[in-house]
Amino acid sequence: MCGIVGYIGKNQALPILLDGLKRLEYRGYDSAGVAVKTADGVFSAKAIGKIVELEKKIGEIKSPFPCPLVPRSGRRAPLLKRANTGIAHTRWATHGAPTEANAHPQTDCQGKIWLAHNGIIENYQELKTRLAAKGHKFISETDTEVIAHLLEDLYDGNLTATLIKVLKILKGTYGLAVLHRDEPNKLLAAKRGSPLVIGLADGEFIIASDAAAIIRHTKQVIYLNDGEIAEISDRDFKIFDADNNQVDKNVDQIEWDQAAAEKGGWPHFMLKEIFEQPESIANSLRGRFMAEAGRVKLGGLEGVAERIRQTNKIIIVGCGTARLAGLVGEYMMEEYAGVPTEVDYAHEFRYRKAVLDEQTALIAISQSGETADTLAAVQEAKEKGCLTLGVVNVVGSSIARETDAGVYSHSGPEIAVASTKAFTSQIAILVLFTVMFGRQRQMSLATGQRIINELIALPDKIRQVLALNDEIKRVAEKYYKFKNFAFLGRKYNHPIAFEGAIKLKEISYVHAEGFASGEMKHGPIALIDENFPSLVIAPLDSVYEKNYSSLQEIKARGGKVIAITTAGNGKIKAAADEVIYIPKTLEMLTPILVTVPLQLFAYQMAILNGRDVDKPRNLAKSVTVE
């Protein structure tokens, strides 16, 4: 959710820290801050709002740091270029409003210990009361500040050993970057339930909550597991477990490059990522077909193939857009694989008494692989003996490591907060799951081959839809001043109606609701008038006539209709005000093609309304707190 960057090495820390924060802006935040360590003390600057406000406070990098100084002595502050260790943070407010006092890094009474924190400390109030009684003075409303004071209270001259003691006291989740004024050449990182990755370069190390802040410096990374602590100098690093035992770690390679995380001439990341979908879908599918056999090859699932064969129930969990991909998967799994399937909000799954056993498979869907609620659902399912499978985009993420097996979507970095290419790739992966489960059961060779052939054709069909961008822009120009929208769909496109509504509301701030088409006459149709347009998803499929009836009911009540249908359907023009055509494909694959014009419509509506498309207000890309 929030962003952490830490640096120790041979170069100036501040430019690297600020650049790292900018690369994490897409995660969502409302304040930012830095703390850098020099021979004379720790310098800190914080600001409310965007990182540019923090830069204004800092001033020219080559000038003396004009921000609060906690000095070792009365000597004048050194130039920033002599500071080669520091931490930085972008905060998305949880405990306390966005203020400079609440911004990170947080510090102790003496200004010696500084830390940036992602996550939530559940027992902070109890700890705060205890520490205040001992004379500790708190200046923020955050749960994070408690960690700094607890470190101060227990400090024994060794920051690493003290941090290990403190972590055993804390309840909740954390990703931490910590430094101490009096321990030169040391930077600590710790993780429980909130992502942290360490980049390894020549004579320098970078801590970050996301590899996007690291990729321009190195592709060599180490992913911390829950309960692990990293002690880093400018020469080497050590990893310890919760009991202070040193552990060996594998060095992983980031698969994508810096250019993939940059705009490359596009006006916004979101538009770039919408137009990347032919390639992202192709990457999600590449090397995973055995076309002649009508089967798929998912290397990540080979080790659990027999358990998949024995599965008699599937539960799919996710949050937001990921859950909607799961709802599409539910239709696929039941229709083509014959496996009873449920879809649940990840944040509700752990609080209901789901009927689980060893023949149940839980599929967890998360772009980042760090969604806290989804990770907790995986852990709950494992506790009950379920087979846990992951569909994630980020290699080495927490869900990827926690699940028994899984499939990476390989859709590349997604920087815009609103999910586009990750969502369509998730659906594509669920098609592969369906073929795998189905071919183990009743799915015929011919059906498997037909699905695979249509999957192979998808990237070109997506390109045909993307060519409609100017036409969709003209539609948006007619409708961007409307304040309410209804999105309707049925069967496979029932979840896509909800997805279209989410996209419109989250980036344009226009109120939009998704409905199952059949539900309109059971209440929602009362909303319809000439000022409440509807977008009806009505491809030529098994429920087309029913969708067409819903469209006519809306028109009979004076409502305006934008329809999405299959190419060649001229009949719908007589009823709809606007028609957007998609190429013909299998019914189960129409959600992928339908999603693209909905994304473009939401994008164009947001631009016309003057919104910050890539970083909509109040939202975060990766929600790592419950």
Comparing CA positions, the residue from 232, 247, 42, 243 lying closest to residue 161 is 243
Q: Which helix (H) or strand (E) holds 610?
A: none
In the sheet that 534-537 helps form, which strands lie side by side, from edge to edge? 511-516, 484-489, 534-537, 561-566, 578-582
CA-closest candidate to residue 23, choices 238, 213, 228: 213
Radius of gyration of the chain, Cα coordinates, nearest whole angstrom: 26
Active-site position among 219, 555, 615, 621: 621
- DSSP H helical segments within 48-177, as ranges? 51-58, 124-133, 144-154, 159-169
Q: Tokens for 603, please give them.
A: 């994008």
* 2 classed as catalytic: yes
What distance in Å separates the CA atoms of residue 590 and residue 262, rounded to the nearest whole number?
30
What's the rounded Cα separation, in Å, for the pair 89 and 115?
9
Q: Are 36 and 80 in contact (CB under 8 A)?
A: yes
* From 2, 67, 319, 386, the catalytic residue: 2
Please give the Cα distance from 565 to 538 (Å, whole number): 5
The two tokens of residue 211 are 């590899």
- Number of residues that this document lists for the chain: 626
Strands 246-247 and 252-253, how do they pair? unpaired
Helix (H) or strand (E) holding 202: none
Distance CA(304)–CA(389), nearest Å, equals: 9
Cβ partners under 8 Å of residue 7, min gap 6: 13, 16, 17, 20, 84, 85, 86, 87, 187, 204, 205, 206, 207
CA 130 to chain centre: 36
**Hey, what amino acid is at 55?**
E
Q: Are 190 and 170 in contact (CB under 8 A)?
A: no
Confirm if 239 and 247 have CB atoms less than 8 A apart. yes
Note if 621 is an active site residue. Answer: yes
Residue 557 CB-density burial (10 A; 0-12 exposed, 13-18 middle, 19+ buried): middle
Q: What is the set of active-site residues?
A: 2, 621
